[in-house]
Amino acid sequence: LQRYAYYSNLPFGDYVFKAKAISSDNIESENIKSFSLEILPPWYRTWYMSIVFFVVVIFIIGGFIFIIINRQRLIFEKRIDKLTIENNESKMVFLTNIAHELKTPLSLVIAPIDDVMQNYKNIDPFWKNHLQLVFRNSKYLLKLINQFIDFRKLNAGKLKLYPQNTDIVRLIKDVVMNFKYMESRRKVNLNINVPANKVIISIDSQKIEEVLYNLLSNAFKHTEDNKSITVSLEIFDGKITGKKSLDSKQLRISVFNEGREINDEDKIKIFERFYKTDESIEGAGIGLSFSKSLIEMHSGFIEVESIKDEGVVFHAYLPFNETISNELPESKADLDVEMFQLNQPELINQLVSENGKEKDLKIVIVEDNIELRTFLKNILSRIYTCFEASDGNEGWKIIKEIIPDVVISDIIMPNKDGYQMCKQLKENLKTCHIPVILLTAKNAESQIISGYNVGADAYVTKPFDMNLILSQISRLIKNRELIREKYITQNFMVEVTKTNISKDDEFIMSVRAILEENITDSDFNVKKLSAQLNISTTQLYRKLKALTGYSPVEFIRVIKLQKAYNLLNTRNNTVKEVCYLSGFNNLSYFIKCFREHFGITPANYRDKGFADQFQVDNTNITNMS
């Protein structure tokens, strides 16, 4: 008989417990007792907790979904930003490449017009005005091209400032003057309001000039005919209320144009690159962005203000210090006004009159663009004998064959570029003395340095002024003349040191050493000299002629005469002894050469004590035939 019932671990819920009695005789009672009971669930299994858990789960799932969506959005935004940057970068690369490509044909527009304007004075005024119009706009196109390239440098962090003490008043006046032709064409009143006296400020005048050009170009684009544009300059003694402060003294350049106002959204975005307030307006949308960067490089800032019912004004603020550094260079004429003007010096005619063709100087032009090559040849052939080549390989063959006085070469060419050809030329003992001018459409500092590293003597960027090319050629030829004088002086061997020795120095030292070693040998001739130098007589002739201006025979005679001069100074030898000791085997011929070279006979020079009075100038060697 069991009087107790035990139930454990029953699930929660409703239960009915039934019980009946059993007698000792095992007789069951008819009556059954029952009662109901409820086992409560744990707190976390209650209905209200289920609702809580459900809500929590929904929040968790929603949170995960939000995180995933937000992460995808961020990834998408980063991708959009990256694509935008890449798109902008591709635009800049494209524009930069196009800019470089335009420089060569632009050279073929600017240089011929410049040549015509300088050398043909009797041009009909009507056609002269047309030529000036083409020249002016070609120069303006060049300024835009250079701006694209500078903008690319700015993005790469390679654009540098070169401060100069500049009269900002003169700078503004000159830039405004260059827009006068647009004033008459557009019937726009272009006004200027600047101080009467000079205002000197330390700035990179070229960069600020670009800012002014951009602001004025933008003003003309957004100004209707018969409206006005005003450029003004103001100096503030104190900080400007509500504006970003610069220094205690500030300079403000303002460009105002009558016309449509700018809304608030455009004010915010107007200085962003490639942004344009009106798609119908021509332009790439980088001028204002670039101007903002240039002003900020000067520790200034730029802003735009919309004046109700009047127009728009751009303000550029620059720090202004009246104490100007004396260490900074003066700005060259404050501005290159030739932007819209023709150069006047007739350098070609001057060089023709000075040099003529009697010197028969040879120039090799290496350029793959046939039109540019032909143009250079047509101009330079008025003065020099010109040879042309279309690439570095062809140019190198011509250079080795003729040993020119100057080489003008493009850099980017098929087969062998200008760097490779220049390096090969400078490393070759037979040609290392030849000056090289490199032409390129790219004016990056790294490329200019690369050109000088391979031995280039001058570097000219396209489009170039022919006067610059002619001046460079003239300068290099004059430098060669000075070097020739150095090589034939008596103390040349003493002057040359291990720290400044060049391949040309090494060659001349070798020649002089061989000649001095064989100075008493009257039979020592050009053939023996070339054999000891291990070069042909033809190559020896070209090399010595280029370096000293003398043929090998003449150079040998000069060295012998210098030896005779030194021997006569000792006064221990007779004229006849000096004749043989200096390598001459004919006394009368020796006397004749000595008199022609020094202007006095050997006997008079020695016996009259002329050595104490007569100072030999070795530069007179060039008078010897």
* CATH number of the domain within which 384 lies: 3.40.50.2300
Phi, psi of 319 (to 5 degrees): -60, 135
Report the phi/psi class of residue 274: left, alpha or beta, with left for phi > 0 and alpha for psi in -120 to 50. Answer: left
Please report the DSSP string for 255-317 in residue order: EEEES----HHHHHHTTSTT--S-TTS-S-S-HHHHHHHHHHHTT-EEEEEEETTTEEEEEEE
Compute the C-alpha angle 582/543/469, nearest 5°: 135
Query: Is there a domain that residue 299 lies in?
Result: yes
Is residue 595 located within the same domain as residue 526?
A: yes
Q: Return the residue matching tokens 């006296």.
A: 197
Query: Is there a domain that residue 236 lies in?
Result: yes
Of 39, 118, 30, 580, nearest to 349 by C-alpha is 118
Please report the DSSP string for 134-190 in residue order: HHHHHHHHHHHHHHHHHHHHHHTT------EEEEHHHHHHHHHHHTHHHHHHHT-EE
What is the rounded average pLDDT of the residues 36-47?
Answer: 84
What is the rounded average pLDDT of the residues 499-517?
Answer: 77
Is residue 302 located within the same domain as residue 327?
A: yes
| For the chain, counts of helices (H) and of strands (E) | 21, 14
**How does pLDDT run across 56-97, given as a tens digit for each residue?**
999 999 999 999 999 999 999 999 988 888 887 787 777 777
Q: What is the DSSP letter of 252?
A: E
Please report the DSSP string for 38-84 in residue order: EEPPPGGGSHHHHHHHHHHHHHHHHHHHHHHHHHHHHHHHHHHHHHH
> What local confidence, expressed as pLDDT, does residue 614 receive?
45
Nearest-angstrom CA–CA distance, 597 and 552:
17
Q: What is the DSSP letter of 253?
A: E
Query: 279, 312, 338 — which closes off a domain?
Result: 338
**C-beta of residue 398 within 8 angstroms of C-beta of residue 439:** no
Query: Is there a domain that residue 222 lies in?
Result: yes
Token pair belonging to 369: 């663009």
Is residue 363 located within the same domain as residue 415?
A: yes
Domain count within the chain: 4
Quick one: angle between helices 47-119 and 125-155, nearest 10? 150
Is residue 522 located within the same domain as residue 596?
A: yes
Is residue 269 located within the same domain as residue 326?
A: yes
Query: Is there a domain that residue 151 lies in?
Result: no
Token pair belonging to 134: 């083409």
Q: Is the pLDDT of residue 558 over 60?
A: yes
Q: Is the pLDDT of residue 564 over 50?
A: yes
Is residue 170 located within the same domain as residue 308?
A: yes
Element (H, E) at 193: strand 189-193
Q: Is the pLDDT of residue 621 over 50?
A: no
Query: Is there a domain that residue 139 lies in?
Result: no
Q: pTM (2 decimals)? A: 0.49
Q: Is the pLDDT of residue 115 over 80?
A: no
Is residue 453 located within the same domain as residue 502?
A: no
Is residue 307 located within the same domain as residue 357?
A: no
The torsion of the CA quartet 573, 577, 579, 585, rounded to 10 degrees, works out to -170
Query: Is there a domain that residue 137 lies in?
Result: no
Give exposure, 204-236, as e/b (b: 16+ Cβ within 10 Å): bbbbbbbbbbbbbbbbbbbbeeebbbbbbbeeb
**How does pLDDT run across 568-600, given as a tens digit for each residue?**
877 677 888 888 888 888 888 888 888 888 778
Pairing of β 250-258 and β 311-319? antiparallel
Token pair belonging to 550: 């003398």
> What local confidence, expressed as pLDDT, does residue 69 receive?
94
Nearest-angstrom CA–CA distance, 310 and 146:
34
Token pair belonging to 355: 């040099």
Q: Is the pLDDT of residue 620 over 60?
A: no
Query: 338, 372, 392 — which closes off a domain?
Result: 338
**C-beta of residue 406 within 8 angstroms of C-beta of residue 458:** no
The larger pLDDT score, comparing residue 284 to residue 363, is at 363
Token pair belonging to 515: 């000649």
> What local confidence, expressed as pLDDT, does residue 408 receive?
95
Query: 431, 457, 479 — which closes off a domain?
Result: 479
Query: Is there a domain that residue 155 lies in?
Result: no
Q: Model confidence at 220, in pLDDT bands (50, 70, 90)?
A: confident
H helix runs in 428-536, sequence order: 445-453, 466-487, 492-495, 503-517, 526-533
Nearest-angstrom CA–CA distance, 364 and 17:
121
Q: Which domain holds residue 364?
A: 351-479
Is residue 443 located within the same domain as residue 521?
A: no
Query: Sign of torsion, CA 232 238 241 244?
Result: positive
Is residue 284 located within the same domain as residue 209?
A: yes
Query: Is there a domain that residue 618 lies in?
Result: yes
Token pair belonging to 620: 């007179």
Is residue 601 located within the same domain as residue 557?
A: yes
How far CA 304 is from CA of 6, 112, 216, 270, 562, in Å, comes to 91, 41, 14, 9, 76
> What local confidence, expressed as pLDDT, does residue 443 receive?
62
Please, what is the average pLDDT of the chain? 78
Nearest-angstrom CA–CA distance, 11 and 23:
33
Is residue 209 located within the same domain as residue 305?
A: yes
* CATH number of the domain within which 177 lies: 3.30.565.10
